[in-house]
């Protein structure tokens, strides 16, 4: 070391969090005396280093003692690294010349032996001091932010997010796989706990999104590819052929009226109703243009028919239309791709798909919907018989280690809503079979009490079986629900006419592929992972990619709307800054050492490494790199290094930790 | 294609369920499967022993497994209780090497050693998977056309959950019955317990279980209940008369081993399948089989 660094060491008490276990006074005195050789010119301890007084202490020392490096021994860098970097910056020191040593999470919180914890803290600080010497001044990378945003998924979360951003004056591309936006909420009849009509509160938002000058609606479309990085994504979107010219179509509806081909609608009507081969999923669809379902259209199968074309008054039918690939540039992306219903067929003993009058929750939503296949009449599968007794089974596929261990969050309230609707419209006796009733949000518990007063039966027990095997008088022609009432300890056989299975929520079956496509990760369950479960619920570990709604985990409408708006607010904040500063902790590849083996290319979780075919070398895109270090460790040629994590830095830190450079006689103390 | 298995008949098949033994041997022979009976086998411990003395119960089964291991073949049990005991013992001892060592110490007396290197199958699995419905169908000469049969699995066959099976609603028994030309009826209680040894210790409870099973078969309009377990067979058949007395019912449902039904379809004479020893005569139902067979013979002639 030609030029000796001047290092300041600051030991934090963190109230009693650290000082309760670690002798902070002893540690700072030790550092001042024993780390002189390494360049420590001053060591202090202070009650709360993160307070403004603590920070001012550092700044004063930088100026008065001419410090060139700062080591703070306090909490984890996750919490306050940025705080102390800013403090250094405020005093004119490059922020990356500081080092935060964790003596709380890694020492005081995990040890009870005070002497040992104190000694360990000294070693950790020695490591930090040895390391900080090799720090280099770094400048954050600044990249401009494209003002447009891509929202993937046109359910309520995506619609809300798109509207917030569009209303702030910035462009949005709203991509939806189905022919219309609206998502699951469009299928529902009533919403809990207020029982207001789902369509009535949703359709104004759909229309607003459809008409908004700042929103480009891309329905019947899917994202194919995502390139680029925060602020500068280039997204390839496949706009599937509608077979209808949107410029000419007026949405008059003659085409689907005249279409002779009826198809069971497994998506919007959940298999309860039919649509035509040319269709809009529901009357309030946005956009109003229909699509031709080519798999079922007679023309595409047999080559004849064209009834829709014949009757279309504006010549909008275009059988030759092809998929279009659009490239759009956006600065940020929100994923709001929602959920899928648990397939109740998997629980064979509940008989769904085998016993006609066992319904899923989504089927019941359509059954009770005034715009649904029965006009809102709650009837059995025969289409006419009104049930006299109805059983509602909670937690189907949820809270069950055979299927999904998690609670699907919405099923209790949904089941209560069903119970109310059945009771109100048919006067039938209603049984709810539950494990626990979970009604934790505003107005929910009150709704539960309302149901109790309405005379709904609540039986606490997990249903063992639903069968049509008659055993006792009175069971003829009924479905028998076998359950243990765990409150009384009795086995019950409850004969009912109709069973509704409150099926849980599951991630979309392609959730993993979607996560890969956007360079983020999903949990073992398949839900996309947020950056922090409490403090950063809508961001992801990849800069510029946000998540909202059920794609992150099961949630109800208010929570989905809140997340949609939250993600939008986060993005608006970014857009208004016009550019984004990226952490300069990055990997870089020494092009002379790179052998072009491409091992790192596929390992990078952020798709940040590109390969130059011409020169046969790999290169890291600094804007995409998150500095995780995977490639650094994997490179067989040792050609990749990470800023802030050079071999020199790591090895020095280890030497420091082992107290190798401190004369023996002094360390004994 | 010759298949060979070590065969553990179990105590029941020596006497009470001798017709199961006879029909198992006859049908497998016809289907090119060789069942090689274990030498010097002992009782499996039946349904109750493991609750009385777990160590001895495991040891009993481990001895049979160790004998089977010497043959290098998978061991097959026709009785559901024997199957379950052997399967559980093998699985448990693999997970608990200390216990296995302890038991092996005892087995040494007999020059035997259990390593866990043996597959355990129920006889019906051999028909369902090793032979398979396709091959079975190709060997049928007298299809049981029009005979409605309730496939009664009983509670033990799918209890050791294997990867290929839906434990809540299996279908392999139905597949076997379809393969021999019969009509498997929808039998919702097909996995329910027959009462097992409760018939000795708590007869009213067991009788009511038997009643439910019979009633369900009658409701499903089954001509015959097919079983794959001597315990189920006895409870449903021998106690049918008592059920009738107890509950004022009028059941007369023949309970037959699936191997007997398969044997009939393969054209094996009734006597060789042990038919004619039942408490509830299978004759009326079988007459229909005969007629069906005659009809189909005529069809082929035409």
pTM reported for the whole predicted model: 0.80
Using the structure block, give the residue that is written with the tokens 């024997």: B82
ipTM value: 0.71
Kindly tell me if the per-residue pLDDT of B299 is higher than 80: no
What pLDDT is stored for residue A669 in this prediction? 43
pLDDT tens digits, B117-136: 899 999 999 999 999 999 99
Rounded Cα gap, residues A238 and B205, in angstroms: 65
Q: Encoding tokens for residue B116?
A: 């866990």
Longest CA span, chain B: 67
- B205 shares contact with chain A (CB less than 8 Å): no
Cβ(A420)–Cβ(A194) under 8 Å? no
Rounded Cα gap, residues B13 and B8, in angstroms: 10
Q: Encoding tokens for residue A285?
A: 């669809």
- B37 shares contact with chain A (CB less than 8 Å): no
> How many other C-beta atoms lie within 10 A of the C-beta of residue B1?
7
End-to-end Cα separation, chain B, in angstroms: 33
Which of B166, B169, B216 lies closest to A469 in CB terms? B216
- B169 shares contact with chain A (CB less than 8 Å): yes
Contact call for B168 and A347, based on CB within 8 A: yes
Using the structure block, give the residue that is written with the tokens 């996995």: B191
Distances in Å between the Cα of A517 and the Cα atoms of A310, A520, A544, B69 are 42, 8, 14, 51
Rounded Cα gap, residues A16 and A13, in angstroms: 6
Rounded Cα gap, residues A664 and A201, in angstroms: 75
Cβ(A390)–Cβ(A429) under 8 Å? yes
CA nearest B169 in A: which residue? A348
Determine the residue among B158, B165, B167, B168 to mutate to test chain A binding: the one whose Cβ has the most chain A Cβ atoms within 10 Å.
B168
Which of A347, A348, A469 lies closest to B189 in CB terms? A469
Q: Encoding tokens for residue B133?
A: 């419905």
Which of chain A's residues have a Cβ under 8 Å away from the Cβ of B215? 470-471
Count helices and strands in chain B by DSSP H and E runs: 14, 8
Residues 6+ away with beta carbon under 8 Å from B152: B187, B190, B213, B217, B225, B226, B227, B228, B232, B236, B255
- A665 shares contact with chain B (CB less than 8 Å): no
What pLDDT is stored for residue B167 in this prediction? 81
Contact call for B212 and A468, based on CB within 8 A: no
pLDDT tens digits, B186-242: 999 999 999 998 999 999 999 999 999 999 999 999 999 999 999 999 999 999 999
Chain A, 454 to 493: residues with Cβ < 8 Å from chain B are 467-471
3-state secondary structure A182-220: CHHHHHCCEECCCCEEHHHHHHHHHHHHHHCCCEEEECC
CA nearest A351 in B: which residue? B169
Contact call for B168 and A468, based on CB within 8 A: no
Spans of chain A, pLDDT less than 70: 1-2, 663-669
Mean pLDDT throughout B70-76?
A: 95
How many Cβ pairs within 8 Å bridge chains A and B? 17
Nearest CA among A195, A476, A495, A408 for reference residue B219: A476
What pLDDT is stored for residue B166 in this prediction? 78
Cβ(A175)–Cβ(A222) under 8 Å? yes
CA nearest B208 in A: which residue? A471
Nearest CA among A582, A469, A512 for reference residue A140: A582
Determine the residue among A346, A347, A469, A493 to mutate to test chain B binding: the one whose Cβ has the most chain B Cβ atoms within 10 Å.
A469
For A11, left (φ over 0), alpha (ψ -120 to 50), or beta?
beta
Cβ(B125)–Cβ(B176) under 8 Å? no
Provide DSSP, A480-493.
Answer: EEEEEETTTTEEEE
Rounded Cα gap, residues B262 and B30, in angstroms: 10
Which of chain A's residues have a Cβ under 8 Å away from the Cβ of B189? 469
Which of chain B's residues have a Cβ under 8 Å away from the Cβ of A348? 166, 168-169
**Least Cα separation, residue B1 to chain A (angstroms):** 35
Instruction: Give, for B240, the enclosing helix (H) or strand (E).
Output: helix B240-247
**Least Cα separation, residue A467 to chain B (angstroms):** 7
Beta strands in A296-412 (DSSP E): 324-330, 332-335, 339-341, 358-360, 389-396
Which of A349, A468, A471 lies closest to B168 in CB terms? A349
Rounded Cα gap, residues A404 and A396, in angstroms: 9
Instruction: Give, for A499, the enclosing helix (H) or strand (E).
Output: strand A498-503
Contact call for B169 and A469, based on CB within 8 A: no
Which of chain A's residues have a Cβ under 8 Å away from the Cβ of B168? 347-349
Contact call for A469 and B168, based on CB within 8 A: no
Which of chain B's residues have a Cβ under 8 Å away from the Cβ of A349? 168-169
> How many other C-beta atoms lie within 10 A of the C-beta of residue B162?
11
What pLDDT is stored for residue B169 in this prediction? 86
Chain A, 302 to 341: residues with Cβ < 8 Å from chain B are none
Kindly tell me if the per-residue pLDDT of B297 is higher than 70: no
Rounded Cα gap, residues A160 and A153, in angstroms: 11
> Is-cis flag, bond preceding A193, omega within 30?
yes
Distances in Å between the Cα of A577 and the Cα atoms of A145, A148, A162, A534 are 8, 14, 19, 25
The strand pairing partners of A180, in sequence order, are none
**Least Cα separation, residue B169 to chain A (angstroms):** 6
Q: Are strands A7-12 and A69-74 parallel, antiparallel or unpaired?
A: parallel
End-to-end Cα separation, chain A, in angstroms: 28
Residues 6+ away with beta carbon under 8 Å from B216: A469, A471, B150, B187, B188, B189
Which of chain B's residues have a Cβ under 8 Å away from the Cβ of A467? 188
Rounded Cα gap, residues B266 and B260, in angstroms: 10
Cβ(A319)–Cβ(A304) under 8 Å? no
The strand pairing partners of A275, in sequence order, are A263
């Amino acid at each position: 070391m030609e030029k000796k660094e001047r290092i300041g060491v600051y030991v934090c008490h963190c109230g009693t969090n650290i000082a309760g276990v670690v002798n902070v006074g002893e540690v700072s005195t030790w550092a001042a005396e024993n780390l002189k050789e390494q360049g420590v010119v001053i060591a202090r301890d202070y009650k709360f280093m993160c307070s403004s007084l603590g920070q001012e202490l550092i700044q004063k020392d930088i100026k008065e003692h001419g410090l060139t490096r700062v080591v703070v021994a306090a909490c984890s860098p996750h919490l306050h690294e940025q705080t102390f970097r800013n403090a250094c910056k405020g005093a004119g020191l490059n922020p990356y010349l500081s080092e935060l040593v964790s003596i709380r999470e890694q020492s005081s919180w995990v040890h009870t032996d005070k002497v040992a914890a104190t000694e360990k803290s000294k070693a950790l600080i020695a490591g930090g001091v040895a390391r900080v010497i090799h720090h280099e001044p770094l400048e954050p990378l600044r990249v401009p932010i494209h003002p447009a945003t891509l929202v993937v998924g046109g359910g309520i979360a995506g619609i809300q997010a798109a509207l917030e951003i569009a209303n702030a004056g910035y462009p949005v591309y709203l991509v939806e796989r189905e022919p219309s936006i609206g998502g699951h909420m469009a299928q529902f009849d009533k919403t809990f706990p207020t029982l207001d009509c789902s369509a009535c509160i949703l359709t104004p938002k759909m229309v607003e999104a459809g008409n908004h000058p700042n929103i480009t609606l891309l329905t019947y479309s899917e994202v194919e590819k995502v390139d680029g990085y925060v602020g500068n994504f280039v997204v390839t979107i496949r706009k599937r052929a509608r077979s209808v010219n949107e410029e000419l179509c007026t949405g008059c509806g003659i085409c689907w009226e005249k279409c002779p081909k009826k198809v069971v609608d497994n998506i919007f009507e959940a298999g309860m109703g039919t649509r035509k081969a040319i269709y809009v999923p529901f009357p309030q669809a946005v956009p109003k243009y229909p699509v031709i379902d080519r798999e079922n259209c007679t023309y595409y199968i047999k080559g004849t028919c064209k009834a829709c074309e014949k009757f279309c008054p504006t010549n909008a039918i275009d059988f030759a239309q092809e998929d279009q690939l659009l490239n759009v540039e956006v600065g940020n992306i929100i994923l709001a791709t929602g959920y899928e219903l648990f397939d109740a067929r998997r629980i064979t003993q509940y008989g769904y798909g085998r016993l006609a009058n066992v319904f899923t929750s989504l089927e019941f939503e359509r059954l009770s919907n005034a715009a649904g296949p029965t006009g809102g009449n709650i009837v059995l599968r025969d289409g006419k018989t009104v049930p006299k007794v109805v059983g509602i089974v909670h937690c189907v596929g949820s809270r069950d280690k055979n299927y999904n261990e998690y609670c699907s969050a919405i099923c209790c309230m949904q089941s209560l809503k069903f119970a109310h609707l059945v009771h109100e419209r048919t006067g039938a006796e209603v049984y709810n079979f539950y494990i626990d009733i979970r009604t934790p949000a505003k107005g929910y518990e009150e709704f539960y009490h309302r149901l109790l007063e309405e005379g709904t039966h609540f039986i606490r027990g997990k249903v063992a079986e639903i069968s049509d095997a008659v055993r006792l008088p009175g069971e003829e022609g009924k479905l028998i629900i076998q359950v243990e009432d765990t409150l009384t300890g009795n086995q019950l056989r409850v004969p009912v006419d109709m069973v509704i299975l409150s099926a849980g929520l599951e991630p979309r079956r392609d959730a993993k592929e979607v996560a890969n496509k956007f360079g983020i990760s999903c949990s073992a369950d398949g839900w996309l992972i947020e950056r922090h479960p409490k403090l950063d619920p809508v961001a992801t570990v990849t800069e510029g990619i946000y998540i909202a709604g059920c794609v992150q985990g099961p949630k109800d409408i208010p929570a989905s709307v809140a997340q949609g708006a939250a993600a939008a607010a986060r993005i608006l904040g970014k857009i208004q800054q016009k550019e984004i500063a990226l952490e300069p902790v990055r990997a870089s590849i020494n092009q002379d050492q790179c052998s072009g083996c491409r091992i790192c290319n596929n390992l990078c979780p952020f798709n940040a490494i590109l390969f130059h075919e011409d020169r046969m070398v790999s290169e890291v895109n600094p804007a995409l790199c998150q500095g995780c270090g995977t490639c650094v460790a994997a490179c067989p040629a040792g050609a990749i290094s990470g800023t802030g994590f050079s071999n020199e830095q790591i090895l020095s830190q280890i030497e420091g930790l082992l107290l190798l450079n401190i004369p023996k006689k002094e360390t004994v103390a | 294609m010759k298949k060979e298995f070590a065969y553990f008949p179990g105590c029941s098949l020596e006497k009470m369920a001798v017709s199961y033994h006879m029909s198992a041997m006859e049908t497998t022979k016809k289907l090119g499967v060789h069942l090689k009976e274990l030498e010097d086998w002992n009782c499996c411990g039946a349904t109750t022993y493991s609750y009385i003395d777990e160590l001895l119960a495991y040891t009993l089964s481990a001895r049979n497994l160790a004998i089977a291991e010497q043959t290098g073949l998978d061991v097959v049990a026709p009785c559901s209780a024997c199957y379950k005991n052997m399967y559980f013992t093998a699985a448990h001892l693999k997970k608990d090497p200390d216990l296995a060592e302890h038991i092996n110490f005892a087995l040494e007396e007999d020059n035997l050693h259990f390593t866990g290197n043996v597959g355990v199958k129920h006889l019906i699995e051999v028909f369902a998977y090793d032979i398979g419905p396709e091959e079975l169908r190709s060997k049928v000469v007298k299809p049981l056309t029009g005979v409605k049969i309730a496939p009664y699995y009983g509670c033990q066959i799918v209890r050791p959950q294997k990867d290929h099976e839906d434990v809540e609603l299996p279908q392999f028994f139905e597949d076997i019955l379809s393969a021999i030309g019969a009509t498997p009826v929808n039998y919702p209680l097909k996995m329910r317990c027959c009462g097992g040894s409760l018939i000795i210790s708590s007869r009213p409870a067991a009788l009511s279980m038997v009643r439910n099973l019979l009633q369900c078969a009658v409701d499903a309009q089954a001509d015959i209940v097919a079983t794959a377990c001597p315990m189920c067979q006895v409870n449903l058949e021998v106690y049918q008369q008592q059920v009738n007395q107890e509950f004022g019912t009028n059941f007369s449902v023949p309970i037959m081993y699936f191997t007997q039904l398969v044997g009939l379809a393969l054209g094996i004479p009734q006597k060789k399948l042990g038919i004619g020893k039942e408490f509830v005569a299978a004759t009326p139902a079988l007459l229909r089989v005969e007629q069906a067979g005659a009809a189909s013979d005529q069809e082929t002639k035409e």
